[in-house]
Amino acid sequence: MIPDMTELPVPLARDWDFPRSAHGVRHLLGYARTRGLDPAALLVGTGLGLDDLTTGGVREVTAAQELRVVRALRHRLPDAGAAVGATYDAGSFGALGYALLTSRTVGDAVAVALRFIDLSFAFVIPRAEVEDDHVVALLDGAALPADVRGFLVARDATAVRTVLDALVPGGVGATLSLDPERAVLRFAVAELSRPLAGGDQRRRALAEAVCRDLAADRRSATGLPQEVRVLITQRLGEGAPMPVVAAALGRTERTLRRQLTAAGTSYRALLDEVRRSLAASLLRAGLPVADVAVRLGYAESAALVHAHRRWTGRTPGASRGAVPTVHVPDDETTPQGREAHRLRP
């Protein structure tokens, strides 16, 4: 809620370097296809393949991986930033998009977008304020690499205006001024009070709860340890060997070990953490223990049994189908659980 329509939340994300849903890269590859480009060519150097980005593939990518795809697309289509931005809609953003569409008013939608901007694909973090009778959003790209700055400012600012205008019939009358460094979007403050046709308090609460869970996971750690977690998850099926992850980060194994120690952790601890979290999710979903072991990169089920006893004091079989302890039910046998599962990107 926006008190008196005069205050807007400050985004919790302060910069662009945070883990992202893999849907952001999928969207860029989809746009590339419409322009006759080879999507595989955009993935060169990312450590990702087309198979990784199919349904059931990786769920998260690092900012560096997505930025490399952006850079490859911009190299081939240098003036396409705004055109790419115009292809987004609320449905592009999973749970965040659903929270937007089920908001009571435009103001509620703007507020939830700002609070959970790190669940979008944005590299340019908007700052919005009410100035007299207008909402003014500044998207400053100064912190971005110079070679992709103009492309991303145009893309992200156009996406914001496109999604915002689609919330209500006729749009909100937003004007957008663009330059290579930054963009300014403005519209009448009275538009914040306009109701959305799909406003639904229950559904909005559910979507926002999913957003909170997702954001909490991504905000739980920052910097190098978080990048390592994402890369371990991507390579877990092959055991996530440390030399492979180190190479993906442009580091030697020795350097990565030293930097993780300085950050108060270790590669083994992060690998164990990722495996434990994913094991809980997969076992809760009812997957056979042998299948979970393969997904976690174990050579045999016995290794998973041993690790699971160390983590929980129980066998993996005792955890299969257990009731999850999360803010939103994951049980797909209930309407709420099915909807929450569908919202998760």
Question: Which pLDDT value is given to residue 320?
Answer: 66
Q: What's the pLDDT score for residue 202?
A: 95
* pLDDT given for residue 299 in this prediction: 87
Beta-carbon neighbour count of residue 283 at 10 Å? 22
Sole residue written with tokens 């593939």 = 57
Q: Report the top-level CATH class of 3-202.
A: alpha beta
Q: Is 140 helix (H, G, I), strand (E, B) or coil?
A: strand
Whole-model pTM: value is 0.80
Domain borders along the chain are 3-202, 221-343
Please report, in tens digits, the pLDDT of each residue of the chain (345 residues total).
444 455 788 887 778 888 889 999 999 999 999 999 999 999 999 999 999 998 778 889 999 999 999 999 999 999 999 999 999 999 999 999 999 999 999 999 999 999 999 899 999 999 999 998 999 999 999 999 999 999 999 999 999 999 999 999 999 999 999 998 999 999 999 999 999 999 999 999 999 999 998 888 777 666 888 889 999 999 888 899 999 999 988 899 999 999 999 999 999 999 999 999 888 888 888 889 999 999 899 989 999 999 999 998 888 877 665 544 333 333 333 333 444 444 444
Matching fold, domains 3-202 and 221-343 = no
Burial class (CB in 10 A: 0-12, 13-18, 19+), 313: exposed
Query: Residue written as tokens 């205050």?
Result: 7
Q: Which residues contact 18 (CB under 8 A, 6 or more apart)?
A: 63, 118, 218, 219, 222, 226
CATH architecture of 221-343: Orthogonal Bundle (1.10)
**13 CB-near residues (< 8 Å, 6+ apart):** 117, 118, 125
Q: How far apart are CA 21 and CA 19, in angstroms?
A: 7
SS (H, E, C) 9-69: CCCCCCCCCCCEECHHHHHHHHHHHHCCCCHHHHCCCCCCCHHHHCCCCCCEECHHHHHHH
Q: Where are the alpha helices (DSSP H) in 43-168?
A: 63-76, 81-85, 94-101, 106-115, 146-165
Q: Got the DSSP string for 195-229?
A: BPTT--HHHHHHHHHHHHHHHHHHHSS-HHHHHHH
pLDDT for res 221: 62
